[in-house]
């Protein structure tokens, strides 16, 4: 009522805080003033901390060893919770489950612990070896599939069943089960091929960073009418000349010399391949965008790589000469 007389409303103002009895404690403060006020304070709860028991070396006499701060029975390999890390609970487990071993000495349990650890290590090593071999076999099959351009589904639908039947016929059923563990699904083969391609590209980039190389460029068009830039690199590795595909990417609509150079330059700079290692550039055609004197892609490369020379494809020259010779020969035959 006092609020209504003073403000003319019973609504609570926005400045007055709201208190909830669920998360608060109501305390009455009796004072000597005429207007007794009720103070509301928040309620705090003390957090409950969980006690973590530590392992002691004397617990080996009870047949238990430490397994990530949890007691593990050496006899049955059962792992108990951390709350059971108490001598009374471990002794009860030994007497109730393995009562015939409760009179054994400490050396017996130490020997059993060493045997258990050895068996666990052998199991992990065997599993790791089998998984590594299965993964390696998956990569080998995926490599053969991509070399021959076959569909990815052929691995799981044809290669794997045939391999299992051959191993079962020549060896035994147990060896055939190992073949079945090789992952050869459609998605797995696709991922394996992508991993192989990335590894080959990384190895090629690593080699080009520390050796001289020559580039051969060609701008072609695929069946969909999309312009594609193909770059082949030739370099020396361990006294052997090698030739690999360096770049195969689509070009914008305007296949100008600037676009061709920008695409190649962004690839080399993005992979930190220095232009100083480029000693020669070969263009397969005489188009203006490729071999122009001022704005051609070859000239732009020579402006950056100062020691780089340029050449023209010999096959293209022979093809042009062959056309001219055929025209001359045709005229001579027609005159005769």
Distance CA 284, CA 216 (A): 7
Dihedral sign for Cα atoms in the order 223, 229, 234, 238:
negative
Distance CA 275, CA 196 (A): 26
User: pLDDT tens digits for 175-212?
Assistant: 888 888 888 999 999 999 999 998 888 999 999 988 89
Of residues 199 and 283, the one with the higher pLDDT is 199
Does position 286 have pLDDT exceeding 70, yes or no? Answer: no
**CA separation (Å) from 309 to 242, 246, 267, 276, 302?**
19, 19, 20, 12, 7
Of residues 120 and 251, the one with the higher pLDDT is 251
SS3 track for 107-165: HHHHHHHHHHHHHHHHHHHHHHHHHHHHHHHHHHHHHHHHHHCCCCCHHHHHHHHHHHH
pLDDT value of position 314: 58
Please classify residue 248 by burial: count the beta carbons closer than 10 Å to its beta carbon, then call 0-12 exposed, 13-18 middle and 19+ buried.
Answer: exposed
β 38-42/24-28 pair status: antiparallel
DSSP string computed for 232-267: EEEEESSS-EEEEEEEEEE--SS--HHHHHHHHHHH
pLDDT value of position 303: 85
Cα angle 22, 27, 30 (rounded to 5 degrees) comes to: 160
Does position 46 have pLDDT exceeding 50, yes or no? Answer: yes
β 241-250/227-236 pair status: antiparallel
Please check whether residue 27 is in contact with residue 39, taking contact to mean a CB–CB distance below 8 angstroms: yes
Q: Which of 92-96, 176-180, 189-193, 282-286 has the lowest mean pLDDT?
A: 282-286
pTM attached to this predicted model: 0.53
> What is the rounded (10 degree) CA torsion for 74, 80, 85, 88?
-80
pLDDT value of position 166: 92
User: Which residues make Cβ contacts (< 8 Å) with residue 234, sequence separation at least 6?
Assistant: 213, 214, 216, 241, 242, 243
């Amino acid at each position: 009522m006092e609020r209504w007389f003073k403000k003319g409303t019973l609504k609570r103002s926005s400045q007055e805080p709201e208190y909830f009895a669920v998360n608060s404690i109501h305390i009455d403060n009796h004072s000597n003033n005429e207007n007794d006020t009720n103070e509301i304070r928040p309620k705090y709860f003390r957090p409950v901390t969980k006690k973590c028991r530590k392992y002691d070396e004397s617990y080996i006499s009870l047949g238990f060893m430490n397994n990530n701060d949890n007691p593990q029975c050496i006899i049955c390999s059962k792992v108990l919770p951390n709350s059971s890390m108490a001598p009374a609970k471990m002794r009860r487990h030994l007497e109730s489950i393995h009562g015939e071993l409760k009179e054994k000495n400490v050396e017996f349990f130490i020997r059993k612990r060493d045997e258990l650890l050895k068996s666990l290590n052998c199991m992990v090593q065997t599993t790791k070896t089998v998984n590594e071999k299965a993964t390696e076999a998956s990569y080998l099959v995926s490599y053969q599939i991509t070399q021959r351009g076959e569909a990815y589904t052929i691995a799981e639908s044809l290669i794997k069943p045939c391999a299992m039947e051959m191993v079962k016929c020549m060896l035994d059923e147990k060896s055939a089960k190992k073949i079945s563990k090789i992952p050869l699904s459609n998605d797995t083969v696709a991922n394996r091929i992508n991993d192989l391609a990335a590894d080959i590209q990384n190895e090629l980039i690593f080699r080009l960073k520390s050796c001289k190389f020559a580039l051969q460029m060609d701008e072609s068009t695929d069946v969909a009418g999309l312009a594609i830039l193909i770059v082949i690199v030739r370099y020396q590795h361990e006294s052997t000349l090698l030739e690999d595909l360096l770049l195969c990417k689509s070009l914008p609509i305007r296949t100008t010399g600037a676009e061709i150079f920008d695409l190649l330059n962004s690839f080399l700079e993005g992979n930190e391949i220095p232009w100083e290692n480029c000693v020669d550039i070969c263009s397969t055609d005489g188009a203006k965008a490729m071999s122009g004197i001022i704005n051609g892609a070859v000239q732009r490369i020579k402006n950056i790589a100062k020691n780089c020379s340029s050449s023209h494809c010999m096959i293209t020259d022979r093809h042009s000469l062959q056309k001219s010779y055929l025209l001359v020969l045709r005229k001579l035959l027609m005159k005769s």
